[in-house]
Protein backbone atom coordinates (compact mmCIF):
# COMPACT_ATOMS: atom_id res chain seq x y z
CA UNK A 1 0.00 0.00 0.00
CA UNK A 2 3.10 2.23 -0.02
CA UNK A 3 3.27 2.57 3.76
CA UNK A 4 6.41 0.43 4.07
CA UNK A 5 9.08 -1.29 2.01
CA UNK A 6 8.88 -5.11 2.06
CA UNK A 7 12.00 -6.68 3.50
CA UNK A 8 11.69 -10.22 2.21
CA UNK A 9 12.61 -10.78 -1.46
CA UNK A 10 9.56 -12.99 -2.18
CA UNK A 11 7.21 -10.36 -0.84
CA UNK A 12 8.94 -7.67 -2.89
CA UNK A 13 8.64 -9.72 -6.05
CA UNK A 14 4.99 -10.40 -5.29
CA UNK A 15 4.28 -6.70 -4.90
CA UNK A 16 6.00 -5.99 -8.21
CA UNK A 17 3.81 -8.60 -9.90
CA UNK A 18 0.70 -7.09 -8.33
CA UNK A 19 1.64 -3.64 -9.59
CA UNK A 20 2.28 -5.01 -13.10
CA UNK A 21 -1.10 -6.75 -13.13
CA UNK A 22 -2.86 -3.61 -11.90
CA UNK A 23 -1.49 -1.66 -14.88
CA UNK A 24 -3.37 -3.99 -17.20
CA UNK A 25 -6.77 -2.95 -15.80
CA UNK A 26 -8.63 0.28 -16.41
CA UNK A 27 -8.99 0.75 -12.66
CA UNK A 28 -8.10 -1.25 -9.56
CA UNK A 29 -7.42 -0.94 -5.85
CA UNK A 30 -5.55 -3.43 -3.66
CA UNK A 31 -7.08 -4.91 -0.52
CA UNK A 32 -5.70 -7.21 2.14
CA UNK A 33 -7.10 -10.74 2.08
CA UNK A 34 -6.52 -13.26 4.85
CA UNK A 35 -4.81 -16.47 3.84
CA UNK A 36 -7.92 -18.58 4.43
CA UNK A 37 -9.91 -16.36 2.02
CA UNK A 38 -7.51 -16.46 -0.90
CA UNK A 39 -9.78 -18.86 -2.81
CA UNK A 40 -12.60 -16.31 -2.51
CA UNK A 41 -10.36 -13.57 -3.89
CA UNK A 42 -9.34 -15.85 -6.76
CA UNK A 43 -13.01 -16.45 -7.56
CA UNK A 44 -13.71 -12.71 -7.67
CA UNK A 45 -10.70 -12.18 -9.96
CA UNK A 46 -11.90 -14.81 -12.39
CA UNK A 47 -15.40 -13.29 -12.52
CA UNK A 48 -13.88 -9.87 -13.21
CA UNK A 49 -11.74 -11.19 -16.07
CA UNK A 50 -14.70 -13.03 -17.65
CA UNK A 51 -16.77 -9.84 -17.38
CA UNK A 52 -14.06 -7.82 -19.15
CA UNK A 53 -13.85 -10.40 -21.95
CA UNK A 54 -17.61 -10.31 -22.54
CA UNK A 55 -17.64 -6.52 -22.67
CA UNK A 56 -14.82 -6.38 -25.22
CA UNK A 57 -16.25 -9.06 -27.51
CA UNK A 58 -16.44 -7.74 -31.11
CA UNK A 59 -19.81 -7.00 -32.65
CA UNK A 60 -21.00 -9.77 -34.95
CA UNK A 61 -22.81 -7.31 -37.24
CA UNK A 62 -21.25 -6.62 -40.63
CA UNK A 63 -20.35 -3.58 -42.75
CA UNK A 64 -21.02 -3.32 -46.51
CA UNK A 65 -18.02 -2.01 -48.47
CA UNK A 66 -20.28 -0.66 -51.24
CA UNK A 67 -22.83 1.48 -49.39
CA UNK A 68 -20.70 1.73 -46.23
CA UNK A 69 -23.71 0.64 -44.22
CA UNK A 70 -22.66 -0.70 -40.84
CA UNK A 71 -24.38 -2.66 -38.10
CA UNK A 72 -25.92 -4.95 -40.75
CA UNK A 73 -27.42 -8.15 -39.41
CA UNK A 74 -25.56 -11.31 -40.57
CA UNK A 75 -28.68 -12.64 -42.30
CA UNK A 76 -28.75 -9.49 -44.47
CA UNK A 77 -25.23 -10.10 -45.78
CA UNK A 78 -24.61 -11.83 -49.12
CA UNK A 79 -21.37 -13.78 -49.53
CA UNK A 80 -20.05 -14.56 -53.04
CA UNK A 81 -19.44 -18.30 -53.10
CA UNK A 82 -16.35 -18.32 -55.33
CA UNK A 83 -14.33 -15.57 -53.62
CA UNK A 84 -15.95 -15.00 -50.23
CA UNK A 85 -16.44 -11.23 -50.66
CA UNK A 86 -19.40 -9.95 -48.63
CA UNK A 87 -21.92 -7.18 -49.32
CA UNK A 88 -25.40 -6.26 -48.15
CA UNK A 89 -28.22 -7.91 -50.10
CA UNK A 90 -29.69 -4.62 -51.30
CA UNK A 91 -26.41 -3.59 -52.97
CA UNK A 92 -26.10 -7.02 -54.62
CA UNK A 93 -29.67 -6.81 -55.93
CA UNK A 94 -29.14 -3.34 -57.43
CA UNK A 95 -25.82 -4.42 -58.96
CA UNK A 96 -27.43 -7.43 -60.64
CA UNK A 97 -30.29 -5.32 -62.02
CA UNK A 98 -27.90 -2.74 -63.53
CA UNK A 99 -25.74 -5.44 -65.11
CA UNK A 100 -28.69 -7.30 -66.61
CA UNK A 101 -30.29 -4.14 -68.00
CA UNK A 102 -26.99 -3.22 -69.66
CA UNK A 103 -26.72 -6.66 -71.25
CA UNK A 104 -23.89 -7.88 -69.05
CA UNK A 105 -23.36 -10.87 -66.80
CA UNK A 106 -23.32 -10.11 -63.04
CA UNK A 107 -19.95 -10.52 -61.34
CA UNK A 108 -18.65 -9.95 -57.83
CA UNK A 109 -18.97 -6.33 -56.70
CA UNK A 110 -15.43 -6.23 -55.31
CA UNK A 111 -13.01 -4.10 -57.36
CA UNK A 112 -11.25 -6.16 -60.07
CA UNK A 113 -12.71 -9.44 -58.81
CA UNK A 114 -13.64 -11.69 -61.74
CA UNK A 115 -15.81 -14.16 -59.82
CA UNK A 116 -19.18 -14.69 -61.47
CA UNK A 117 -22.41 -14.53 -59.52
CA UNK A 118 -24.75 -17.45 -60.14
CA UNK A 119 -28.50 -17.40 -60.56
CA UNK A 120 -28.81 -20.29 -58.12
CA UNK A 121 -27.06 -18.44 -55.29
CA UNK A 122 -28.88 -15.13 -55.93
CA UNK A 123 -32.37 -16.48 -56.62
CA UNK A 124 -33.71 -15.72 -53.14
CA UNK A 125 -33.01 -11.96 -53.41
CA UNK A 126 -34.29 -11.41 -56.98
CA UNK A 127 -37.71 -10.55 -58.34
CA UNK A 128 -39.33 -12.83 -60.92
CA UNK A 129 -38.56 -10.21 -63.60
CA UNK A 130 -34.85 -10.17 -62.78
CA UNK A 131 -34.76 -13.97 -62.73
CA UNK A 132 -36.28 -14.07 -66.23
CA UNK A 133 -33.76 -11.50 -67.47
CA UNK A 134 -30.88 -13.50 -66.03
CA UNK A 135 -32.15 -16.73 -67.60
CA UNK A 136 -32.20 -14.92 -70.95
CA UNK A 137 -28.60 -13.74 -70.44
CA UNK A 138 -27.55 -17.31 -69.67
CA UNK A 139 -29.23 -18.50 -72.85
CA UNK A 140 -27.57 -15.75 -74.86
CA UNK A 141 -24.16 -16.65 -73.47
CA UNK A 142 -24.66 -20.24 -74.61
CA UNK A 143 -25.20 -19.13 -78.24
CA UNK A 144 -22.37 -17.50 -80.26
CA UNK A 145 -23.13 -13.92 -81.30
CA UNK A 146 -23.16 -14.80 -85.02
CA UNK A 147 -25.71 -17.56 -84.35
CA UNK A 148 -28.22 -15.48 -82.39
CA UNK A 149 -31.57 -14.57 -83.92
CA UNK A 150 -34.59 -13.07 -82.18
CA UNK A 151 -38.19 -13.54 -83.20
CA UNK A 152 -39.35 -10.32 -84.98
CA UNK A 153 -42.79 -10.65 -83.39
CA UNK A 154 -42.77 -7.81 -80.78
CA UNK A 155 -44.99 -9.87 -78.50
CA UNK A 156 -42.48 -12.73 -78.51
CA UNK A 157 -38.84 -11.73 -79.20
CA UNK A 158 -37.63 -15.23 -78.30
CA UNK A 159 -33.95 -15.98 -78.75
CA UNK A 160 -33.03 -18.79 -81.13
CA UNK A 161 -29.96 -20.33 -82.72
CA UNK A 162 -29.72 -20.10 -86.51
CA UNK A 163 -28.27 -23.59 -86.84
CA UNK A 164 -31.03 -25.13 -84.76
CA UNK A 165 -33.89 -23.60 -86.76
CA UNK A 166 -35.40 -26.18 -89.10
CA UNK A 167 -36.10 -25.34 -92.72
CA UNK A 168 -39.70 -24.69 -93.71
CA UNK A 169 -41.65 -27.11 -95.87
CA UNK A 170 -42.62 -24.22 -98.12
CA UNK A 171 -40.91 -23.56 -101.40
CA UNK A 172 -38.79 -20.67 -100.07
CA UNK A 173 -35.92 -21.99 -97.94
CA UNK A 174 -35.28 -18.55 -96.38
CA UNK A 175 -38.39 -18.82 -94.24
CA UNK A 176 -38.08 -19.96 -90.63
CA UNK A 177 -40.64 -20.38 -87.87
CA UNK A 178 -40.28 -19.13 -84.32
CA UNK A 179 -39.88 -22.04 -81.95
CA UNK A 180 -42.06 -20.29 -79.34
CA UNK A 181 -44.87 -18.36 -81.03
CA UNK A 182 -44.84 -20.13 -84.42
CA UNK A 183 -44.73 -16.92 -86.45
CA UNK A 184 -42.80 -17.20 -89.76
CA UNK A 185 -39.91 -14.86 -90.48
CA UNK A 186 -37.11 -14.36 -92.99
CA UNK A 187 -33.80 -15.82 -91.89
CA UNK A 188 -31.89 -13.39 -94.13
CA UNK A 189 -33.20 -10.06 -92.84
CA UNK A 190 -34.66 -11.32 -89.54
CA UNK A 191 -38.00 -9.62 -90.29
CA UNK A 192 -41.53 -11.05 -90.57
CA UNK A 193 -42.05 -13.31 -93.55
CA UNK A 194 -42.46 -11.52 -96.91
CA UNK A 195 -42.99 -14.17 -99.56
CA UNK A 196 -43.76 -11.84 -102.47
CA UNK A 197 -41.09 -9.24 -101.77
CA UNK A 198 -37.32 -9.17 -101.54
CA UNK A 199 -35.74 -8.18 -98.25
CA UNK A 200 -34.82 -4.70 -99.56
CA UNK A 201 -38.29 -4.06 -100.99
CA UNK A 202 -39.90 -5.16 -97.74
CA UNK A 203 -37.66 -2.89 -95.66
CA UNK A 204 -38.48 0.07 -97.93
CA UNK A 205 -42.16 -0.18 -96.96
CA UNK A 206 -41.42 1.36 -93.55
CA UNK A 207 -40.90 0.24 -89.98
CA UNK A 208 -44.24 -1.59 -89.69
CA UNK A 209 -45.11 -3.12 -93.05
CA UNK A 210 -47.78 -5.76 -93.45
CA UNK A 211 -46.20 -9.20 -93.39
CA UNK A 212 -48.37 -10.96 -95.99
CA UNK A 213 -48.03 -8.79 -99.11
Per-residue pLDDT, 169: 46
CA distance 186 to 191: 6
User: So where are the chain's domains?
Assistant: 9-55, 74-141, 147-203
pLDDT in tens, 107-129: 899 888 888 888 888 888 888 88
Q: Which CATH class is domain 74-141?
A: alpha beta
SS (H, E, C) the chain: CCCCCCCCHHHHHHHHHHHHHHCCCCCCCCCCCCHHHHHHHHHHHHHHHHHHHHHCCCCCCECCCCCCCCCECHHHEEECCCCCCEEEHHHHHHHHHHHHHCCCCCECCCCCCCCECCHHHHHHHCCHHHHHHHHHHHHHHCCCHHHEEECCCCCCCCEEEHHHCCCCCCCCCCEEECCCCCCEEECCCCCECCCCCCHHHHHCCCCCCCCCC
More confident residue, 21 or 126: 126
Mean pLDDT of 2-28: 71
Strand partners, 120: none
Mean pLDDT of 14-41: 73
CA distances from 106 to 67, 78, 143, 166, 206 (A): 18, 14, 18, 33, 37
Model confidence at 143, pLDDT cuts 50, 70, 90, reads confident
Q: Please determine, for residue 168, whether its predicted confidence score (pLDDT) is greater than 70.
A: no
Phi, psi of 122 (to 5 degrees): -105, -5
Closest Cα to residue 83, out of 60, 64, 61, 110?
110
Q: Please determine, for residue 187, whether its predicted confidence score (pLDDT) is greater than 80.
A: yes
Least confident of 27-41, 86-100, 113-127, 189-203: 27-41
Per-residue pLDDT, 55: 46
Per-residue pLDDT, 163: 80
Measured in whole angstroms, the distance separating CA 187 from the mean position of its chain's CA atoms is: 39
Per-residue pLDDT, 24: 75
Model confidence at 56, pLDDT cuts 50, 70, 90, reads very low
Q: Please determine, for residue 181, whether its predicted confidence score (pLDDT) is greater than 80.
A: yes
Amino acid sequence: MGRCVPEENKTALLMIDVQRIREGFKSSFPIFVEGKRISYAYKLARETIVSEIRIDMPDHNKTCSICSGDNIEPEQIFSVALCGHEFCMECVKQHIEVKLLSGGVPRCLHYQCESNLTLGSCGNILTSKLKAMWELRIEEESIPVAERVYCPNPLCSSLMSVTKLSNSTREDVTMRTCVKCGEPFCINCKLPWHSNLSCNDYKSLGPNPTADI
